[in-house]
Chain A
Amino acid sequence: MDGPAQSTGASGEDRALAASLDAVKRAAGAQAAHALAQAAPKAARRLGTAEAFAAWLGVVERLAAQAPESVDALLGRIEGVLVDLDVPRFEAWALAGLRLAGGDAARRRAYFALEDPEALRWLERAAADLGFSTVERRIKAYLTALWGLHPPVRAVTATGSGGPPRRTSFAGGVIRVPESFRGVGEAAAVALFRASLAHVAAHFRFTPRRFPVGSLKPLQVALVSLIEDARVEQLAIAEFPGLRRLWLPFHVAEPGGPPAAPALMARLSRALLDPDYRDDDAWVRKGRRLFLEARADWGDPAVSRRIGGLIGNDLGQMRVQFNARTYVVEPAYRDDNMGLWEFADRSPPPGGGETVVESVRVDRIDDAPSPDRERPDGEPPEEDGAPHRAAEDDDGADGVPVARYPEWDHLIGRAREDWTTVVEYPAEAGDPHRIDRMLEERPDLARRVTALVRAAKVGRPTRLRRQSEGDRLDLNACVAAAVSRRLGERPDPRVYERSVRRERDLSVLVLLDVSESTNDKVLGGITSVLGLERDATALLARGMAELGDPFAIHAFCSNGRDDVHYLRVKDFGRPYDAAARGRLARLRGGLSTRIGAALRHAGAELARQLTHRRLLLIVTDGEPSDVDVYDRRYLVEDGRHAVMELAQRGIDAFCVGLDPAGDAYLTRMFGRRNVLQIDRLERLPDRLPTLYVRLTA
């Protein structure tokens, strides 16, 4: 029955492949199609199922359309790439490459040919089932809880010899954990990390000093380590019986099989820990017997040395294969034993899996200045009237990179660390009269907006006692009044109390989108979107300045992920003077809208304000976009994430949309209640109360 089913599956694969070959040939040329034909059988073998293969073909087709020059380079190396990745992870890795290169074909090709170190880094990242960093805190807390230990733990992605580490290691009180265990599922990885560190902690607790290597042979070193591992585990189990359940699932060695040293040693390890394990091998049984007979002496590490030496001799006489170079400690949770031995003459250790203890920690390269600004409070050029530099000069030679932020990729469901760089540019000085004139022309509007801002009661609730009216009786006032009445005095009629929001306690950061699209005319109007943004902001700012509310006006646009422009029109704690109004008047539209990075940067600024409520008011006209992003949803989802992060920090993000068609993505980012659309300046007073009602609710 299997035969026909398989053959239809195969012909299905062939049909899918033929279609893909066509598509790739059309998109990327004959050479790429040829490479696909060559690579397809290898990929099919790696991926195993017809579904996975078909999905993989889909990814290749899409890649051919978006990066035609890179397909053949990638397909030539496809086996190596697919070793660690399934199709969704392969796709995530490929997408990272497209994003990284941002339209630069040469860079793309370098990435897919695995010549760009970033490609390997992302490969590593994509392959990682579960990184240690995600569970680090809980596992450290676990060690603290069990043993009161607070050892430094370092996640290691590469050993000194370049390969990924396969086992935990410890030396000098520092534990080095592989950043990820290859091919281990998420749930199993948590248990593996936990088991690993619990095992190392048992060494910390019960292996008081290192064994001198002396004249021991590699096999003896490995066996003494094995007995020592079992000894410290037994002692730990005596203290915490549940640890046996933590470690036992990793012991999967079974009786039988060829008498090779690693297999026998794995079986002995299991026999020493698992009381229910049966093994008929004479050597395994002898090791177990010696170990259990020495139960009374388990407290002394010398017992490991003695038993390890004895069974080491036996194994040596059995003439089984043992290769110290390829030996890796089993099961996977055990450490590489390097921390157990004292090597007299710093010569390379004879046994053990990782031969180099000192490993490299790949740290985040942190060359960007810290988010705390380096410049004194965004000092803008103050030469009033005189433009700082030509309006057309837009390559921004004097931008200062101030911070890096992560960006959320909805396809892989993860944030990419330090993916965007915010660069602050000085806002140019301009003519404040444009703003003043606009306000003078619309005195009613200005007054109404100011009144609305004033009416907003945003502050901490305060209890007022002894009020002439209120929603509760003030008991003390009541009693005092009754006493006075009895005494024949005229009682004080103020016997109520109530709670009010009395102080204005709100800081507002207005963040203006000044991307290229803001130069467009407002639908059915004569002013540009930017003009509308500017006028609305001027109205609000006037109201806030009159009332003394702390507020700031910043603007942003972007030119790829490495250059998110950020301009400070007015900062918190600085006057809203003619210079500030001039800078507001001078804002020009250009470049794109990478909204998430700007939101994060503005949020960091606003988080420093110590008011009761903090409002980030973002004024935007269009869909988020950037030159290096082709996926329409990508920046929207990132923006949504940024807004959620702000909410977690107690910052309200509110969007004023100027694109009537933008409701779908704006509500996706900010939530339905936090978006208001205006298309004419006159609508601002009508819509503004919505915002304040939402804030004070």
Chain B
Amino acid sequence: MPLSDYLIDQEPWYRSIGDEVALFEAAYADRMPMMLKGPTGCGKTRFVEHMAWRLGKPLVTVACHEDMTASDLVGRFLLDADGTVWHDGPLTLAVRHGAICYLDEIVEARQDTTVVIHPLTDERRTLPLEKRNELVRAHPDFQLVISYNPGYQSVLKDLKESTKQRFGAIDFGYPDAAVEAEIVAHEAGVSREVAATLVRIAERSRNLKGHGLDEGASTRMLVYAARLVRRGVALEAACQVALVLPITDDPDIRDALGAAITACAA
């Protein structure tokens, strides 16, 4: 099977925070295109990996960026010694062979690029390859999943209405404190106390969202901070490295966050 490299053998650890696993399974049973919404670093990608493992399907992930063209998704002709050879793009690969195709941060891609997914996300389930004059019919296992961060929505970067309405959506947020501490403790291998302190610090920085910060510290950042702590870095230093310096260059906000970390540390 050409997609065997994309199969996930080890179970990716995922702590369910609601009924999202059941919802996704139901959606997959019907091959409904899904949209995962939520702030960065809250576990969307991990969730998709976990679901692909659970369903036993290969997972093709594409990180979208603004220079991405439709050919980057669909495929292109390349040159070789004898002439041109068609090379399937990641989306075509998933469509042909039956994988879950995960387009991460879809809003980053230009709108003219995202329209190529339209025929795949309605009853047709087909992908026309104009350059090859071929119509690829989707494998029965194929499902399209996109992720979408409403946090940096702007007039320039938003999905077209016609794209949005082709998807079901699951909303992700940061889990509540106890669950988030459990996640941090598990992922980084630190004690519950350290994890709980870090979560309390993260809440401080999430309070500043819209008041100096565009986005508060994510669960992923907490895991990084916790890993530094496990390596013997002092808690406050680890927080500076993993939670403060990456997200802001504003000296006042850095100062406020630093002081808030001191207040949270025992």
Contact = CB atoms under 8 A, between A and B. Distances in A.
A250 to B, nearest CB: 15
B103 interface: no
Interface string A476-504: 10110011001000000000000000000
Interface size class of A (residues with CB under 8 A): 20 to 34
B83 A145 contact: no
Contact of A483 (B84, B204, B253, B256): B84
B211 A141 contact: yes
A547 interface: no
A242 B208 contact: no
B247 to A, nearest CB: 12
A142 B259 contact: yes
A144 B79 contact: no
A144 B216 CA distance: 12
A146 B255 contact: no
Contacts of A145: 204-205, 207-208, 256-257, 260
Contacts of B125: none
A464 interface: no
A296 to B, nearest CB: 22
B263 A246 contact: yes
Interface in A111-156: 137-142, 144-148, 150
Nearest to A478: B79
A148 B255 CA distance: 16
A246 to B, nearest CB: 7
Interface in A302-346: none
Interface string B60-78: 0000000000010000111
Contact of B264 (A141, A198, A240): A240
Given A145-B208, A146-B204, A150-B211, A243 B263 contact: yes
B205 A486 contact: no
A482 B211 contact: no
A198 B204 CA distance: 14
A112 to B, nearest CB: 38
Nearest to A138: B252
A241 interface: yes
B178 interface: no
Contacts of A243: 263
A194 interface: yes
A119 B205 CA distance: 43
Contact of B253 (A138, A194, A479): A138
A479 B261 CA distance: 55
A279 B257 CA distance: 36
B208 A144 contact: yes
A146 B77 contact: no
Tell me what chain B mostly uses at the interface: helix, strand, loop, or mixed: helix
Contact of A142 (B200, B251, B256, B265): B256
B263 A141 contact: no
A142 B258 CA distance: 9
B256 A486 contact: no
A241 B264 CA distance: 6
Contacts of A144: 207-208, 211-212, 256
Chain B CB within 10 A, most for which of A137, A147, A198? A137
A127 to B, nearest CB: 24
A142 B200 CA distance: 14
B83 A194 contact: no
B253 A141 contact: yes
A137 B252 contact: yes
A245 interface: yes
Contact of A479 (B79, B256, B257): B79
Contacts of A147: 207
Interface in B233-260: 251-253, 255-257, 259-260
A148 B264 CA distance: 14
Nearest to B212: A141
B262 interface: yes
Contacts of B84: 479, 482-483, 486
Contacts of A478: 79
Contacts of A138: 251-253, 255-256
B250 to A, nearest CB: 9
Contacts of A140: 256
Contacts of B79: 478-479, 482
A142 B255 CA distance: 8
A242 B252 CA distance: 20
B263 to A, nearest CB: 4
Contacts of A246: 259, 262-263
Contacts of B260: 142, 145-146
Nearest to B211: A144
A499 to B, nearest CB: 14
Contacts of B253: 138, 141
A245 B259 CA distance: 11
A645 B34 CA distance: 49
Interface in A234-253: 240-243, 245-246
A137 B251 CA distance: 10
B62 to A, nearest CB: 19
B207 A146 contact: yes
Nearest to B236: A242
Nearest to A142: B256
Interface string B198-240: 0010001101100110000000000000000000000000000
Interface string A210-237: 0000000000000000000000000000
B83 A486 contact: yes
A241 B266 CA distance: 5
Interface in B13-59: none
Interface of A: 137-142, 144-148, 150, 194, 198, 240-243, 245-246, 476, 478-479, 482-483, 486
Interface of B: 71, 76-79, 83-84, 200, 204-205, 207-208, 211-212, 251-253, 255-257, 259-266
22 contacts: A138-B252, A138-B253, A141-B211, A141-B252, A141-B255, A142-B256, A142-B259, A145-B205, A146-B204, A146-B260, A240-B264, A241-B263, A242-B263, A246-B259, A246-B262, A246-B263, A479-B76, A479-B78, A479-B79, A482-B83, A482-B84, A483-B84
Given A145-B256, A150-B211, 14 more contacts: A138-B253, A138-B255, A141-B253, A142-B255, A142-B260, A144-B211, A145-B260, A147-B207, A240-B264, A242-B263, A479-B78, A479-B84, A482-B79, A486-B84
Query: Which 3 pairs between the two chains have the least Cβ-Cβ distance?
Result: A141-B256, A138-B252, A240-B263
